[in-house]
Structure 1
Amino acid sequence: MKLSLKKLIVTSILAFSIVYAQEDNSVAGDNASEPVDSNVFIEDKPAEEKEKTDDKVAEADSKVESENAPVEVPDLVALYGDRPEVEYWRNIYLTEKWQKVLRGILENAVEYRVYVRKCVQEKEVPLELEYLPVVESGYKTAVRSKSGAIGMWQFMANSVKPFLKLNEYVDERYDPWLSTQAGIAKLKDNYKIFNDWLIAIAAYNCGNGKMRKTISRAGTSDYWELVEKKALPKQTAEYLPKLIAIADLAINYEKYEVDLPRHDTEYEELVDERDAIFDYVPVKKPYMVSAIAKESGVSEKILKHLNPALTKGFTPPAAEYQLRLPVGKKEDVELALTRIQPIEFPFQYTVVKGDSLWSISRKFGVTVQALCDTNGIKENAILKIGKVLYVPSVKN
């Protein structure tokens, strides 16, 4: 509501307000510091106090306009591309060996990378984040670090909530599309905490708790100062320089005369990859991916490629799962699901000393292959004592 309109309202009820104020002189005083919307005694204020109220209204209006204004996203390459730390890594990636490595990563990842680019543009985060998975995982979707971080965006199991699902049947860290959304959401959360993109990105690497302690001990929240003081872990100190150097080379390939994928043309040409165009079918029962593939005519390899979160080779038994499909295959898969029988799990077996897949399969009267498919393991897998195996009663 504009102030002029409020003045009209106040004028119309002025008589009442004066009487009320006379009955309880404390009201105006108590409300003197309240927001304008809760104060109906504006006309009773001294001139200088009214000016303060007007200032508050203007400040509130300004705040609303600021919140609705476009977010200003920093250009990390332009701001920090000339720093010696970035120059060091740029020179490394300009060598013939590392140009080849970088080219291989960017070419192999193009299916996901142009999608990531679309997401970072839509979410109003630094565009250089398209190349963060290069530093994190080499853009590999199934990679696991020594510390247990998994997937393209390298989420630890204790950091997936509330961004991704992780349970006995589904691990969305392996899903490049869902984990991209999660990675960007996590980075935006970091930015809200630290209000600095360099620190937010660095904290994605070392963790928010570690970053807070580092800033507290070092007495500065400037990333480059933290690097110079050697306050950060070595990996985190190299994290941003690597990212900025790689982004600079990939975006400005002509300037550096490097043989890398064409940054602009690939984005316009790979429309399906960029927009992640798929069909989806909600599945509420456990079906083997191999059975769905066989009955629908969709390649099992493609189904597994599009649904890497299904770590055991079948859809969850007690929760709805959105099965991702190639465009045009929705009706085929829906029909297939009416023809195949869902898996039943009458048994869950805990591995004991001396067990093998063969002995367990004989015990329950199922094939070794069925056990492997159901539990997402290979026939030559070494079973750990205490591991729980799901034993199917339906062979697909």
Structure 2
Amino acid sequence: MGQNYIYKLRLDSITKTVPLPYNEYVQQYIDIYAKRKDLFGKMMGLSNYYFPIFDKALKDFNIPQEIKYLTIVESQMNPHAISRVGATGIWQFMFGTGKAYGLKMDNFVDERKDPIQASYAAAQYFKDAYEELGDWLLAIAAYNCGKGAVTRAMAKAESRDFWAIRQFLPKETRNYVPAFIAAVYVMNYSGKHQISPQACSLFLKTDTVQTNRFVSLASLAKALNVDETALFALNPSYKKKIVNGTDEEPKRIIMPKLRDIDYASVYEVLNNSEQDVSMRVVQASTDDVRDLRKSRAKSASSHAVVFHKVSAGQSLAMVANKYGVEVQDLRVWNGLKSKTIVPGQQLKIFAKNVNRLKAPVSYASYTVKAGDTLSEIAEKFNGVTVQSIKRDNKLSKAGLRAGMILKISKG
């Protein structure tokens, strides 16, 4: 009892805005995390680079700073983390939710892996979740299982208290909130558990530039005289290791703080737009495993198929670019275990998945049902985001009422 009381006092001492109650579920995760000394030592090192990024995004949306510790539970602060169902990046956004909150995913970039962009999307999500649910622990639970699932659990329990509705939530979510509280505890009381911070592998002092050209990160690393992997780690969202900046949409490059001797060679790389790569941007299709299973079955049964004969020198990426599809789709459709293809090989391509320009359409209407949330509605419509729904309907908050008719921009 004495030891438990100490844990409670420690949690009370670091509680700010988000409640950090002590109970048996929290203790279970404290016991687990306190044994992972190497992992949490690494998290403490990485926090020196990532926490200032998270803090700024959360502060800009007036979200409690404690929310940043969720990245430990979600991804162990790994921008390349991918879950078994396709959640991606430090904040583990699913494809549909990421798109609904304005993150771009195409053949060049996956902004779910961009610590800055994804942090702002997460902050916007928490702003909406708190407006709808009115409790930070419920908002955290919603981040794991969705606002709709939390709303339904609240209705079953007839309560707005996480611990009261916990039994009605998915199993993973029941443990998610205690794991978050334990992560906050261990990061703040690491010394009490003989956990020492490890050195951060990322450059802590950086410069940021915006470019309207295509820039090779490998060439830039050479000009900076740094290891390629170090520069890739600062810019994890660029799939091809190419920053695809344009006049219409400049892109950000983060690099180690420049020294005087770097400027001339860096300037040359930043202003050399001759890259041996197609500049065509192809929107990514979903990588949500659940959606892929459904679409695979649907495509196979009802859509026309195009067959492509591989020519000498063609790569899978070249074929994907020609038809406006993703490499991962080609591999799924053709049962390919690798990206290697050979001349004369026949590749199956589903015609519906070829991206074509669409004529602008004005608005569709959507009648809000009980339990609907803005992010869930946005995911139902292609190209629609939470922000566009709020803008088109002049909604100041994320709360909805059953029966409301929303304008949905389809242009």
Calculate the TM-score normalised by the size of structure 2.
Answer: 0.59
Summarize deviations over 1:193-241 as a string: whole Å, max 9, x none: 21110111110110112222222233222111011xx100011111111
Are residues 1:337 and 2:270 paired? Answer: yes
Q: 1:330 to 1:184 in 2, by over 3 A?
A: farther
Aligned to 1:251: 188
Distance 1:295 1:352 in 2: 43
Are residues 1:157 and 2:95 paired? Answer: yes
Distance 1:295 1:126 in 2: 40
Aligned to 2:379: none
| 1:160-309 equivalence runs, <5 A | 160=98, 161-227=100-166, 230-254=167-191, 257-261=192-196, 273=204, 277-294=205-222, 297=225, 299-309=227-237
Distance 1:158 1:105 in 2: 28
Q: Larger C-alpha radius of gyration, 1 or 2? A: 1
Distance 1:281 1:99 in 2: 37
Gaps of 5+ in 1: 1-71, 365-376, 389-396
More helix by share: 1
Question: Are the aligned partners of 1:288 and 1:314 in contact in 2 as well (CA < 8 Å)?
Answer: yes
Residue aligned with 1:315, SS? strand
Question: Are the aligned partners of 1:253 and 1:259 in contact in 2 as well (CA < 8 Å)?
Answer: yes
Shift of 1:352: 5.8
Are residues 1:137 and 2:83 paired? Answer: no
Aligned to 2:255: 325
Distance 1:146 1:130 in 2: 23
Question: Are the aligned partners of 1:199 and 1:223 in contact in 2 as well (CA < 8 Å)?
Answer: yes
| 1:26-105 equivalence runs, <5 A | 74-77=17-20, 80=21, 82-94=22-34, 96=35, 98-105=36-43
Distance 2:176 2:279 in 1: 49
Question: Are the aligned partners of 2:74 and 2:90 in contact in 1 as well (CA < 8 Å)?
Answer: yes
Gaps of 5+ in 2: 1-14, 283-304, 319-330, 332-337, 342-346, 354-411
* Percent of matched pairs sharing the same residue: 25
Q: 1:135 to 1:196 in 2, by over 3 A?
A: same
Question: Are the aligned partners of 1:285 and 1:317 in contact in 2 as well (CA < 8 Å)?
Answer: yes
Question: Are the aligned partners of 1:135 and 1:243 in contact in 2 as well (CA < 8 Å)?
Answer: yes
Q: 1:219 to 1:352 in 2, by over 3 A?
A: same
Summarize deviations over 1:259-299 as a string: whole Å, max 9, x none: 22469xx9xx99x84xxx53233222333333344456554
Residue aligned with 1:153, SS? coil
More strand by share: 2
Shift of 1:344: 5.7
Q: 1:133 to 1:351 in 2, by over 3 A?
A: farther
Distance 1:344 1:75 in 2: 47
Question: Are the aligned partners of 1:76 and 1:126 in contact in 2 as well (CA < 8 Å)?
Answer: no
Calculate the TM-score normalised by the size of structure 1.
Answer: 0.61
Shift of 1:150: 0.3
Aligned residue pairs, count: 287
Residue aligned with 2:84, SS? coil
Q: 1:187 to 1:286 in 2, by over 3 A?
A: same
Tell which has more relative contact order, 1 or 2 (C-alpha 8 A, sep 6+).
2
Residue aligned with 2:193, SS? coil
Shift of 1:180: 2.3
